[in-house]
Chains A and B, each alone.
Chain A
Amino acid sequence: MDVVTIEGNEYKVVAQRPKSLTDKPFTYCPGCNHGTTHKIIAEVIDELGIQHRCIGIASVGCSVFSYEFFDFDFISVPHGRALAVATGAKRMRPNSVLMTYQGDGDLAAIGIAETIHACNRGERVTCIFVNNAIYGMTGGQMAPTTLLGMKTTTSPLGRDAKRIGWPIKMSEMLAPLPGAAYIARVSMHDAKHILKAKAAIKKAFRAQLEDKGFSMVEVLSNCNVNWHVTPQEGVKFVEEHMTKNFPLGVYKDVWEDEKAAKQTDKEKG
């Protein structure tokens, strides 16, 4: 913990910008949970002491410039292909810690095949999947996770299940695959949930560090500009509507499964 002196008094700095972030201020819109998620990931990486082992994979979307904010090696890759690139890198450098940072368009639309198969192969990579139910960078189009009734620039009358289908639930889809070691859905809409999200992200990285398998944390996030709301209304919408469609929780936890298996063995034994 850093100690500084201000006006003659000594203070411990109990909260500040994490070391694993560069000095560049985020370019995300005011109140956007991308920033919160970046900060939390960096705190986890600091606490795990793995900053210089990390290799980041930046996808295409609002977070395309995430490589300017994380202070470790990074590559910017084609839309939807982050988990394939991470696979190639991790297989060649198993001791590196691979993180992909992807949005809902990148992971659940164009990149869904790469996502399912990286998980199904149990690739030892950690995927941070920010779900804000919209395409942000390109100006607010509908995403696979757009909620029913939600108006976007490509569902101007509101998403209608008859014509467009339902918001896709990635955590539920990936959890049953044996390759998945840790899958959780979290949210950043208030301090309590941010701390829970941090714990989940830390566990996801541990799944990679302990060679357990594929890990993904789906982070529900606001998108104030494209939802046409204030930051406070944005996090409220996440709390009241997003969490209804995308229930928070741990969808796969290999440690729990192992504990349960030991339990049944004991009972059988």
Chain B
Amino acid sequence: MSDERVFMKGNHAACEGAYRAGCKGYFGYPITPQNEVTEYMSAHIWEHGGTFIQSESEVAAINMVMGASATGTRAMTSSSSPGISLKQEGLSYIAMMELPMVVMNVVRCGPGLGNIAPHQGDYFQATKGGGHGDYRLITLAPNSVQEMAQFVYDAFNLADKWRNPAMVLTDGTIGQMMEPVDYTTMPWMDPPDKSEWQLDEFQEGRERHVLTSIWLDPADMAVAHEKLIEKYERLKREEVRYTEYLTDDAEVLVVAIGSPSRVTHSAIRILRQEGLKVGLLRPITVWPFPYSAIREYADSKHVKAILVAEMNWGQMVEDVKLSVLGKKPLHFVPKHGGLTFTPEDLTEPIREILKNPESPNTLWHVS
């Protein structure tokens, strides 16, 4: 496949990003809307010296990734909401053992079977440690087919840099749509050396390697916790990423990720033509979350109000609330059931907010 611009599906691009990052193991299970990942991997990972297994369940898949990653190889799994729920226990073990790996969630509607339409109801699960215990996944949120490839590629590198599991969190729209992708920003690479901790054959004299997540003595467990938390604090200081679109003079700052952030671009263009100053801050890492970046806008004179658009009942808006801390009115526009935003869903409330930053019908407050 050529390295220049290739027109392809988001779910396929994610695989190409993985191949370039040296991913040698994919373990997955069928679930819409991400079947293309499993299918593409089954056809092509072999061409890159990799192995594919369709497991008996998402539970088995995440544990196969655990085994593969423990041997020092780059491995990933992907699924969609219900399947990602099944992987939470495995992710908790993987996080405590500090195993680098990538999991992608192409979010669909929940709770329950929901439907196969796009949604963002898994935000809390992804960013607040979805399984048992106190841990976090480095979580990247692509909103284009280019970013599907790039963020899987980046996720592998971040996972190895920090020896931490990484999640690519997107929604069904981004997974299913087709756009051109430029792979020149993803040079082919071999995974880094992990011989100091990976499980492997070894010569006499090398200390044996043990990966475990159990310490019966609370004092020992506390030390293990502190080591993990110290890493998370460094991650929060060093790896926050976000993009800004027309935010310098914005009076209403929109915060959105995934397909809602694309519709926000259209809404902003419409409003800018009407002379209304609206901008978008789009978190790239939803963990670690760009709290301080949003706080700066909340502190700025030009921003009158902040609006969050999400396809759920309000999850990322809580993180934005933590950023804004009441400094400016915070508004929230939801979408439910798998319905997606139209520009009007955003332009109307924003016009209202510009007239009255405290406009009640979209004001979001913790009651």
Contacts and interface: CB of A to CB of B under 8 A. Distances in A.
Contacts of B93: 77-78
Nearest to A57: B67
Contact of A74 (B65, B202, B203, B208): B208
Interface string A73-99: 111111001001111111111011000
Given A71-B208, A73-B200, A78-B90, A113 B68 contact: no
Contact of B199 (A73, A84, A117): A73
A77 B66 contact: yes
A87 B53 contact: yes
B199 A55 contact: yes
Interface stretch (B56-64, B113-121, B252-260, B354-362): B56-64
A92 B200 CA distance: 10
Interface stretch (B3-11, B14-22, B210-218, B305-313): B210-218
B211 to A, nearest CB: 4
A91 B63 contact: no
B48 interface: no
A253 interface: no
A52 interface: yes
B61 to A, nearest CB: 8
A78 B94 CA distance: 10
Given A75-B67, A89-B199, A92-B71, A84 B51 contact: no
B55 interface: yes
A95 B71 CA distance: 12
Contacts of B65: 88
Interface in B156-214: 199-204, 208-214
Interface in B204-246: 204, 208-214
Contacts of B202: 52, 73
B210 A73 contact: yes
Contacts of B209: 73-74
Contacts of A114: 56, 59-60, 63
Contacts of B56: 113-114, 116-117
A84 B71 contact: no
11 contacts: A52-B204, A53-B201, A73-B210, A77-B93, A78-B89, A81-B66, A88-B68, A88-B71, A91-B53, A92-B51, A96-B71
